[in-house]
């Protein structure tokens, strides 16, 4: 991944919808907002998507189908909490995403790779948001 794309990932605002009126924003290298940390508890968490693999735009219908596959795979995990989310870049770019608590990086790495993602944001309870770059 080139430096410009890496910086774009780091500068993105990762918005999580907790309920019909409550949103929280994750920033790489910062702790989770208190309301989101409370929702996560002691579980590992991640902000993931299946949209636009390899950071290349593709037709909305293909993105929607892939996102549904990702959602189904996450829902198949036990003890998982999933919230709708949206990544918004500084250039105006945005992608529908998912915030998930209770899934480990081994499963998340596999799912992200399956969907052609270059990176995702993840963390552990009480820690900071980390950009996990996949090879």
Angle, nearest 10°, between helix axes 60-75 and 105-114?
160
CA distance 111 to 105: 10
Residue 82 Cα to chain centre, angstroms: 11
Instruction: Provide the token pair at 56.
Output: 């290349």
Task: Using pLDDT thresholds of 50, 70 and 90, give the confidence band for residue 126.
Answer: confident
Task: Using pLDDT thresholds of 50, 70 and 90, give the confidence band for residue 66.
Answer: very high
CA distance 117 to 125: 24
CA distance 34 to 16: 13
CA distance 24 to 48: 15
Phi-psi region of 11 (alpha: psi -120 to 50; beta: other; left: phi over 0): alpha
What residue ranges in the chain does DSSP mark as E strands?
13-17, 23-26, 45-48, 81-88, 94-101, 119-123, 130-133
pTM higher than the cut 0.85: yes
Dump pLDDT digits (tens) for 6-48. 999 999 999 999 998 999 999 999 999 999 999 999 999 999 9
């Amino acid at each position: 991944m080139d430096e410009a794309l890496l910086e774009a990932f780091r500068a993105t605002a990762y918005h999580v919808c907790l309920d019909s009126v409550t949103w929280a924003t994750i920033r790489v290298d910062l702790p989770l907002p208190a309301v989101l940390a409370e929702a996560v508890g002691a579980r590992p968490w991640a902000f993931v998507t299946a949209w636009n693999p390899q950071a290349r735009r593709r037709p909305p219908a293909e993105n929607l189908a892939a996102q549904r596959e990702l959602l189904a795979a996450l829902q198949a995990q036990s003890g998982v909490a999933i919230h709708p989310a949206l990544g918004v870049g500084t250039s105006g770019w945005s992608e529908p995403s998912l915030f998930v608590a209770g899934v480990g990086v081994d499963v998340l790495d596999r799912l992200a790779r399956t969907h052609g993602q270059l990176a995702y944001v993840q963390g552990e309870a009480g820690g900071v948001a980390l950009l996990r770059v996949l090879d």
